[in-house]
Amino acid sequence: MTQESLAFRSVLRSAFQAVILVLGASSILSAHAQSFQPVCAAEAAYASLEGRGLHIQGGFSTPGKSTSQAFTIDLSQSWDTANPKYKQLPNGNPHNYSPSGITSDGKLWTVLIGYKGMRYDATSNSWSEKFSTQARSTIGLTGATDHATDTMYIPNGYPNAERKTEMLRVHLKNGTTSSDRRLSPFWDQKQYATAWNPFRKSVIAVSQNGVSEYTWEKGWKSFVRKGLDKIPSRGACLVPVSGGKKMALFGGVNKEDTETIGDIYILDLTKKGKSWVKASVDSNLKSQIARHSAACGSTGDQVIVWGGSTDLAPQGFQCPKQPTLVFNVKTMKWTSKYTAPKKSTARK
């Protein structure tokens, strides 16, 4: 073999080895990016930023045992429900069913556990206790965050001298709190569903008593109940969609406390004669998606659901067959794809 041939083979061998190294590095990076898989949980604290992320922390992962895991489902990228894009965060405190809110810039995420305001700071990538409140035990309470003012409203979050519970208001940036003496129609209940509606600039809540609306200026009043053939007794999730022009109510436990609900209802707030509309779902699919105490968020016309439980026993847990779900409000169908907003409209 000539010296030229040997030199040529040496060049080919070096090039081949370089390709193998590149492919190997690429695979390692890919494997690392997909290495984190959260443990399925119910009753987790959650907070959503449209087009950015659904932030989830804590909850039951096994019967009677709370987890400390924290992570984000990335809503800035598209994915399918079999393989959502997760980002692991440092573990927080173990807990279940605690109210949670995040600032509009995504930098400060607060989970109210008992009397403690536990805060995740995205800049330092760490959790710490930042403030305390006069809140009652927060287990079973949920919060609604107004991102225009970075204020979280927690119905039934503040105990008054008469041992009744008032609205608790938490300013997420500085940790100051205040309360409203006007009682909610469900002041003695927990595990209700609530969300801030940016279109009406109000808190919407669904409880055993029906549907209610709240503003700091005017207090509570009854709201649209028409079309809701099943009022969940507990564990449903409520989110604004389509810029707040619609509301979506999903899951929970029926009034008799005998089964989990697999129905999703949509309320169009722009229409006269407002009424909740139930999506038509095949009975087989409904049995797979039914759950209570899931984490929920939204982006555009999509509702994102993660986790929850099909077990009705107190502190029981059974992960649903499909942990991650996406519902398209425009088509009124469940889908296997989440579609991220265009970069020109998604907030960075």
User: Would you say the pTM of this structure is higher than 0.85?
Assistant: yes
Task: Evaluate whether 81 touches 305 at the Cβ level (below 8 Å).
Answer: no
Residue range 49-72: average pLDDT?
A: 95
Confidence grade of residue 283 (pLDDT, cut at 50, 70, 90): confident
The 3-state DSSP class for residue 20 equals helix
Q: Across 246-294, where does the E strand assignment appear?
A: 246-250, 264-268, 276-278
Residue range 241-247: average pLDDT?
A: 97
pLDDT higher than threshold 70 for residue 34:
no
pLDDT tens digits, residue range 139-155?
899 999 999 999 999 99
Residue range 68-77: average pLDDT?
A: 98
pLDDT tens digits, residue range 77-135?
999 999 999 999 999 999 999 999 999 999 999 999 988 899 999 999 999 998 887 66
What mean pLDDT value characterizes the chain?
88
Look at residue 133 in the predicted model and tell me its pLDDT.
76
Confidence grade of residue 33 (pLDDT, cut at 50, 70, 90): very low
pLDDT tens digits, residue range 304-346?
999 999 999 877 899 999 999 999 999 999 999 999 998 754 5
